[in-house]
A and B are shown apart, each in its own frame.
Chain A
Amino acid sequence: GDSVTQMEGPVTLSEEAFLTINCTYTATGYPSLFWYVQYPGEGLQLLLKATKADDKGSNKGFEATYRKETTSFHLEKGSVQVSDSAVYFCALSTGNQFYFGTGTSLTVIP
């Protein structure tokens, strides 16, 4: 069945470090891919998305490229800030359902 596998956490980085969170997927057909962010005590919010192969989603300095050949959608940011500390979820959508990864907790220290 359809599924998402993302990098285990937690991840701790110093401010201004480079961030990569890996995400790979298994899906029949042509899924849309998403990154969501969850701040403490809140629901998930969309960070970025890509709906077809080679699309790049970007928002708030975060980027991810939909790679069909490697079935991946890795999240990157060139310089993280303390305010980026949160849990990040990779997700895919095909048909009527969304499938979420288990989440990667990121802590950025000053």
Chain B
Amino acid sequence: NAGVTQTPKFRILKIGQSMTLQCTQDMNHNYMYWYRQDPGMGLKLIYYSVGAGITDKGEVPNGYNVSRSTTEDFPLRLELAAPSQTSVYFCASSWDSTYNEQFFGPGTRLTVL
């Protein structure tokens, strides 16, 4: 099992550009999450999904969009990138939302200049 994989590992964007961060898990988890981690800060939830076709906003959804067409994939879309979106982005998945751990991907480091 590869677990949770994310691509790309690093990316530099110009202000106003768009991009999609890819996330795939091979553990057949229903729940998937996107977080951002700013330097010296904890994780902030951007969006989450409780199953294919179902997504919901987290704490900081503005400027992002997600889709969940399959159980395995949960891409995060940035439209009109802004410097405030410079961060490290982590995707995670879990069996359920309460009792079981989240498994994290290695992260994508994004810089918007």
- Whole-angstrom distance from the CB of B107 to the nearest CB of chain A? 5
B41, CB-defined interface residue at 8 Å: yes
How many A-B contacts at CB < 8 Å in the complex?
Answer: 55
Given A89-B43, A102-B41, do A94 and B98 touch, yes or no (CB 8 Å)?
A: yes
- Find out whether the CB atom of B101 lies under 8 angstroms from the CB atom of A46: yes
Picked from B40, B97, B107, the residue with its CB within 8 Å of the CB of A43 is B107
The answer, yes or no, to whether A100 is at the interface (CB within 8 Å) is yes
Which label, helix, strand, loop or mixed, suits the secondary structure of the A interface?
strand
Asked whether A97 and B101 contact (CB < 8 A) given A42-B106, A43-B106, A43-B107, the answer is no
> A49 contacts the other chain (Cβ, under 8 Å)?
yes
User: Which one of A49, A96, A103 has the greatest number of beta carbons of chain B within 10 Å?
Assistant: A96
Q: Contact residue range for chain A?
A: 20 to 34
A97 contacts B97, C-beta separation under 8 Å: yes
CB atoms of A98 and B45 under 8 A apart: yes
Given the contacts A51-B99, A96-B48, A103 and B42 also touching, CB distance less than 8 Å = yes
* Chain A hits for B90, CB < 8 A: 43-44
Tell me whether A100 and B43 are in contact (CB under 8 A): yes
Indicate which residue in A32, A95, A98, A103 contacts B33 across the interface (CB closer than 8 Å).
A98
Closest Cβ of chain A: how far from B16's Cβ, in Å? Answer: 29
Contact, CB under 8 Å: A44 / B104: yes
Q: Mark A71-110, 1 if CB is under 8 A from B, else 0.
A: 0000000000000000001000111111011110000000
Asked whether A97 lies within 8 Å of B106 as measured between CB atoms, the reply is: no
A positions within 8 Å CB-CB of B: 31-32, 34, 42-46, 49, 51, 89, 93-98, 100-103
A46-B101, A46-B102, A96-B56 known; 8 new pairs, CB 8 Å cut-off, are A32-B99, A43-B90, A44-B43, A44-B90, A45-B104, A98-B97, A98-B102, A103-B42
| Chain A to chain B contacts (Cβ below 8 Å), 21 pairs | A34-B101, A42-B106, A43-B105, A45-B104, A46-B101, A49-B101, A51-B98, A89-B42, A93-B97, A94-B98, A96-B48, A96-B56, A97-B48, A97-B58, A98-B33, A98-B45, A98-B97, A100-B42, A100-B43, A101-B42, A102-B41
